[in-house]
Structure 1
Amino acid sequence: MSKLIECVPNFSEGRKPDVIEAIAKSIKDSDGCHLLDVDVGESTNRTVYTFVGNPSSVIKGALNAAKVAFKLIDMSTHKGEHPRFGAMDVCPFIAVRDTTIDDCIECANQFANLLATTLDVPVYLYGAAARSDERKLLPNIRSGEYKNLPKKLKDPLWLPDYGTSEFVSSWGATAVGARNFLIAYNINLISTKEQAHKIALNVREKGRGPTQRGRLKNVQAIGWYLDEHNLAQVSANLTDLGVTKIYQLYEEVCKDAKELNLPVVGSQIVGLVPLKAVLEVAQFYIDQEKLFVLDEMSKVKLAISRLGLDSLGKFEPSKKIIEYAVADENRDFPLGTLSVQSFVKSVASRTPTPGGGSVSALVASLGAALCTMAGQLSYGKKQWESVEETMRKSIPSVHESMMDLIPLIDLDATAFNTYMDALKMPKETDDQKAKRNEKMLQGILQAIEVPMQVMSKSNQAWSSAKEIAQSGNKACLSDLQVGARCLEIGVWGALQNVVINLPKITDESLKNKIEAECMAKMKTAEDACKEILEILLNRKA
């Protein structure tokens, strides 16, 4: 799969369609760039563009967009609600696939240098690309905004990282950074700007200052008013989704709004959002309201509904969720997305992959799928009302095993290819031999780890499969028999893929440890399958 970097430049123009479209076109026309989203804010007078590509492509795309903005945007006449200090106000790079934060830092430095030398403008580095702690936070760099920039550029402590320290009135300055996913998330209120800002001060980490911190970590927020929608917003950035979730911010704002007797009327995600963040929202409300929602897209719809993400415009998952938006840009799991016929033919082809490991993962996932189907056909039906609670608890577990096993179909093939690539490395010198042996060991350990995951993920389904077998729809007994056997054969097939690779490991203690662990997993599968088949046989009698 190709390397993928996301670039999210924010331009200080949200009211002139011709300018907004010209910048968008410059990105679309850049080779290797895929424009995913254009989020226009009229009151903020700001447009956020989101596009992806390989590292060199996104740098070129960002530069092409900046060149257009340099000709068409004049900061000396700009007015808007959003804090800003430049025509291309901020330009972050974010790792998406097969890339790291270091790759993004490299992109930020290359782009910052090109921007400064091409347009002769001041450029600051922020986030992970910052060269000092004072410049890591964007609000610090942008403090004083455009009106204070002439004075700031003369301050020795705030000389630009790249480019001129002279004030360019039409452009201002640009902050270029590298960061993890940041969610720009706004919550709508029927209130004044001041009331929204009061809530923002309560929830944001900085609060009202050092002595009066806010309640939520890694949240930046202000309050503003949108004239075109006749409502206010708590406008926030969630800078670490591992610390503060979208639903936590939404619930905290709702709590403060209720205390002030202010209605919350939906919310808005600016740019794109990771699927995981949306599913976390859904899971929160599923748990809170004791809902039964299994399908991924149903969970996405639930999150959209509970947060009111359609309130200011249609929230289209295919365009707003990054994994869906880039799905046609080299699919994450190509084998898992093939038709049955194509997959079977690919197994039969004259190539070592996909082979027994991928087929084992597929068979195991089908076993979990059959158990899921049997559970679904036992839920929500009048004649099976007595087992509804059991099904609500059991179905998600077998469904989760099914979903976890699907990507392993591809990972098994990828792991084997890593070992095959190592075999092709040069071995003329002692140094080359050492590097080759090290790479071969890494490949073998990876080739062993994936089938061990297949065994573990398959075994996670047994407990719930047993519950479904004991009390589920009798019309599905044969399906459950096949399902149990598929899970067992998936584990057995994965075991064979481990066994065939074990001799390549020279560390005897490691080899024995892996073998013992795998044999224990196999026994778990054999015992569980036997028990379920006996249960089903007795129910048939």
Structure 2
Amino acid sequence: MSKKLIECVPNFSEGRDQTIIDAISKSIRDTPGCTLLDVDPGKSTNRTVYTFVGCPTSIVEGALNAAKTAYQLIDMSKHTGEHPRMGALDVCPFVPIRDVTMEECVNCSKEFGKRLGEELKVPVFLYEEASTQAYRKQLKQIRQGEYEGLEKKLQDPQWAPDFGPASFVSRYGGTVTGARSFLIAYNVNILGTKEQAHRIALNVREAGRSDNEPGRLKFLKGIGWYVDEYNMAQVSMNLDNYLVTPPHIVFEECSKDARELNLAVAGSEIVGLVPLEALLMAADYYIQKENLFILDEALKVRLAIERLGLNSCSPFNPKKRIIDYMVQEDLAVSQPLAALSVKNFIEVLGSRTPAPGGGSAAAVVAAMGAALGAMTGWMTYGKKKFEALDSQMRAIIPPLDKAMKDLIPFIDADTKAFNDYIKAMGVKGAEREAAIDKALKQAINVPLSTMKISNTCWESMVEMAKVGNIASKSDLEVGAKSLETGIWGAHRNVCINLQDLKDVQFKEKTLKEANEILENARINLEKVLNILDNRKD
């Protein structure tokens, strides 16, 4: 299954000396378990932003190795640049990406800060989620006065560092570290002046024009500027919480203000990487707004790119700009069975091993049943002959498409549950009974989930039998029988594992639910087949 993944985005005060930039990159790349995704240097700011990912342990090591390289090569006493800064490694945030909590990222930042302070003897401050003090929670609060004011600041007890000595290291300065949500750097292109772009920024940014006149969008920081390279102005923004204020809402709000000023919007730009979820949110917004019917993920991403105009400044390549795609594990690692060819899966299924077994096979068969139902829908939707059915297909296909995709992980989940049960059997001492009970319940819940997901398909399968393209009759028949067979197979796995469970209440409740789903599958299979047999067209 997928592993824990954290993103680290350290900002170093060097954007001109390629030798130093490359040395820091190498220190990250050479850290086992770390993957460097992006290096973004800026000459005028004299600053480079690195983006890399890793598990909680490796991400801390990677950040430390990079900091040690910066300590050796960067001399802050000689540093100048347009961007605010206070240290060689200026700020080092840890961001949850996959299967990790914000608390785990806070722990990473604290471990990193503690070790950095101890090993390099430099002052380290915590910010954002890692800080508990309101007056020093935001980066701008801690960095006020910048490098030049740090020596005096450290003499104030209120600004004692969280880690490391309260002494000024002229060569290095200080570092701010903490945990935050994924930040999206997002710019909307305006065919106008810097002042007009800034006027829009004042309208939308959370701070607004003043405390008495706040802006419209939460968790948004923004200014207006002019980019000579693009020959146009931009509303340049940081989206601190894209779940609350996503790019598409920002784009629409900026566009509305631009229209009121009789200005043209020429697309937008994402700087660095972006979570897939943000683009899928945009796609869903435009799908609903324009009454579109798109289920395929790649097409949704394409729609978001087009509607937001993300190709306006430079080509937006999803494989290189969407962080989920860049850190996607090899399917053979995360889902070894699902990644096999049909031939190889069948051969493994028939080999001299107890797993994969009937549970994995049941998930495969059920997924194929849902897939054949969806296929019948696609053989109907969008065809002139069946144009009157398009609205029905828009409602019928999505549940089948979703179930098909949701069932695939259970091919491997069932085998993992079996292997975990075998491990629990080997536990010694007083913990053995609890370990076995926990493993058994998981071995029950996995095939039960296969049944539950499959059970969501029947309403669509029955409707498809009534109106779907009759040329796909046999496909839908096979699909319905496969769905019922997958449910039956999962039911047998639930029952056999329930036998050894000692929790009577759990056993009775689970068996009742499983039997109801099994009976519903029998009834609906018969219904689908009868409808198809009696179709006259």
- Residues 451 and 477 from structure 1, CA distance in 2 versus in 1: closer, same or farther, beyond 3 angstroms? same
Could you tell me how far 1:481 is from its partner in structure 2? 0.6
Could you tell me how far 1:153 is from its partner in structure 2? 2.6
Contact 1:43–1:226 (CA under 8 A) maintained in structure 2: no
- Residues 535 and 185 from structure 1, CA distance in 2 versus in 1: closer, same or farther, beyond 3 angstroms? same
Match of 1:391 in 2: 393
Q: Distance in 1 between matches of 2:197 and 2:365?
A: 54
- Residues 356 and 56 from structure 1, CA distance in 2 versus in 1: closer, same or farther, beyond 3 angstroms? same
Match 1:426 to one of 402, 405, 428: 428
Percent identity between matched residues is 53
Could you tell me how far 1:12 is from its partner in structure 2? 3.2
Secondary structure of the 1:154 match is coil
Q: Distance in 2 between matches of 1:376 and 1:40?
A: 47
Matched, 1:465 2:467: no
- Of 84-93 and 478-487, deviating more is 84-93
Matched, 1:439 2:439: no
- Residues 256 and 12 from structure 1, CA distance in 2 versus in 1: closer, same or farther, beyond 3 angstroms? farther
Match 1:526 to one of 522, 526, 536: 522
Could you tell me how far 1:480 is from its partner in structure 2? 0.6
Could you tell me how far 1:478 is from its partner in structure 2? 0.6
Could you tell me how far 1:15 is from its partner in structure 2? 4.3
Q: Distance in 2 between matches of 1:504 and 1:311?
A: 62
Match of 2:407 in 1: 405
Contact 1:91–1:176 (CA under 8 A) maintained in structure 2: yes
Structure 1, gaps ≥5 residues long:
428-432
Equivalent runs, 1:198-209 vs 2, <5 Å: 198-209=199-210
Secondary structure of the 1:125 match is strand
Secondary structure of the 1:337 match is coil
Q: Distance in 1 between matches of 2:484 and 2:317?
A: 40
The amino acid across from 1:93 in the alignment is F
Q: Distance in 1 between matches of 2:105 and 2:26?
A: 24
Matched, 1:243 2:244: yes
Residues 178-217 of structure 1 deviation map (CA, whole Å, 9 limit, x = unaligned): 2343333333333444443443333333434544333223
Matched, 1:346 2:348: yes
Match of 1:483 in 2: 479
- Of 60-69 and 206-215, deviating more is 206-215
- Residues 399 and 266 from structure 1, CA distance in 2 versus in 1: closer, same or farther, beyond 3 angstroms? same
Q: Distance in 1 between matches of 2:284 and 2:143?
A: 36
Equivalent runs, 1:42-191 vs 2, <5 Å: 42=43, 44-75=45-76, 78=79, 80=81, 82-191=83-192
Matched, 1:455 2:451: yes
Contact 1:361–1:408 (CA under 8 A) maintained in structure 2: yes
The amino acid across from 1:299 in the alignment is K
- Residues 423 and 269 from structure 1, CA distance in 2 versus in 1: closer, same or farther, beyond 3 angstroms? farther
Q: Distance in 2 between matches of 1:73 and 1:192?
A: 37
Could you tell me how far 1:300 is from its partner in structure 2? 1.2
Match of 1:281 in 2: 282
Q: How many residues align?
A: 535
Q: Distance in 2 between matches of 1:20 and 1:538?
A: 72
Match of 2:296 in 1: 295
Could you tell me how far 1:313 is from its partner in structure 2? 2.6
The amino acid across from 1:513 in the alignment is K
Q: Distance in 2 between matches of 1:42 and 1:290?
A: 45
Match of 1:213 in 2: 214
- Residues 252 and 57 from structure 1, CA distance in 2 versus in 1: closer, same or farther, beyond 3 angstroms? same
Q: Distance in 1 between matches of 2:37 and 2:316?
A: 13
The amino acid across from 2:153 in the alignment is K
Matched, 1:498 2:483: no
Residues 282-307 of structure 1 deviation map (CA, whole Å, 9 limit, x = unaligned): 11111111112121111111111112
Match of 1:430 in 2: none
Q: Distance in 1 between matches of 2:108 and 2:314?
A: 33
Contact 1:43–1:225 (CA under 8 A) maintained in structure 2: no
Matched, 1:312 2:316: no
Q: Distance in 2 between matches of 1:40 and 1:470?
A: 60
Contact 1:43–1:228 (CA under 8 A) maintained in structure 2: no
Match 1:337 to one of 339, 357, 376: 339
- Residues 31 and 450 from structure 1, CA distance in 2 versus in 1: closer, same or farther, beyond 3 angstroms? same
Q: Distance in 1 between matches of 2:471 and 2:410?
A: 31
Secondary structure of the 1:338 match is coil
Could you tell me how far 1:424 is from its partner in structure 2? 1.7
Could you tell me how far 1:77 is from its partner in structure 2? 5.4
Residues 237-296 of structure 1 deviation map (CA, whole Å, 9 limit, x = unaligned): 333344333322222222223223333323333333332222111111111111121211
Q: Distance in 2 between matches of 1:63 and 1:277?
A: 30
- Of 358-367 and 496-505, deviating more is 496-505
Q: Distance in 2 between matches of 1:403 and 1:451?
A: 16
- Of 501-510 and 470-479, deviating more is 501-510
Contact 1:220–1:236 (CA under 8 A) maintained in structure 2: yes
Match of 1:512 in 2: 508
Q: Distance in 1 between matches of 2:458 and 2:493?
A: 22
Q: Distance in 2 between matches of 1:105 and 1:404?
A: 32
Residues 409-438 of structure 1 deviation map (CA, whole Å, 9 limit, x = unaligned): 2222233333332222111xxxxx2x3322
Equivalent runs, 1:337-376 vs 2, <5 Å: 337-376=339-378
Contact 1:37–1:319 (CA under 8 A) maintained in structure 2: no
Could you tell me how far 1:540 is from its partner in structure 2? 6.5
The amino acid across from 1:275 in the alignment is L
Could you tell me how far 1:42 is from its partner in structure 2? 5.0
The amino acid across from 1:21 in the alignment is D
Could you tell me how far 1:74 is from its partner in structure 2? 4.5
Contact 1:282–1:303 (CA under 8 A) maintained in structure 2: yes
Could you tell me how far 1:499 is from its partner in structure 2? 1.3
- Residues 188 and 363 from structure 1, CA distance in 2 versus in 1: closer, same or farther, beyond 3 angstroms? same
- Residues 346 and 485 from structure 1, CA distance in 2 versus in 1: closer, same or farther, beyond 3 angstroms? same
Q: Distance in 1 between matches of 2:408 and 2:15?
A: 43
Equivalent runs, 1:262-273 vs 2, <5 Å: 262-273=263-274
Secondary structure of the 2:388 match is helix
The amino acid across from 1:375 in the alignment is G
Secondary structure of the 2:165 match is coil
Q: Distance in 2 between matches of 1:141 and 1:13?
A: 20
Equivalent runs, 1:218-233 vs 2, <5 Å: 218-233=219-234
Could you tell me how far 1:519 is from its partner in structure 2? 1.8
Structure 2, gaps ≥5 residues long:
none
Could you tell me how far 1:76 is from its partner in structure 2? 5.0
Could you tell me how far 1:375 is from its partner in structure 2? 1.2
Q: Distance in 2 between matches of 1:209 and 1:497?
A: 63
Q: Distance in 1 between matches of 2:205 and 2:217?
A: 6
Match 1:535 to one of 512, 531, 534: 531
Contact 1:42–1:228 (CA under 8 A) maintained in structure 2: no
Residues 145-197 of structure 1 deviation map (CA, whole Å, 9 limit, x = unaligned): 44543443333222211223334445332211123433333333334444434
Match of 1:27 in 2: 28
Could you tell me how far 1:41 is from its partner in structure 2? 4.3
Q: Distance in 2 between matches of 1:350 and 1:540?
A: 49
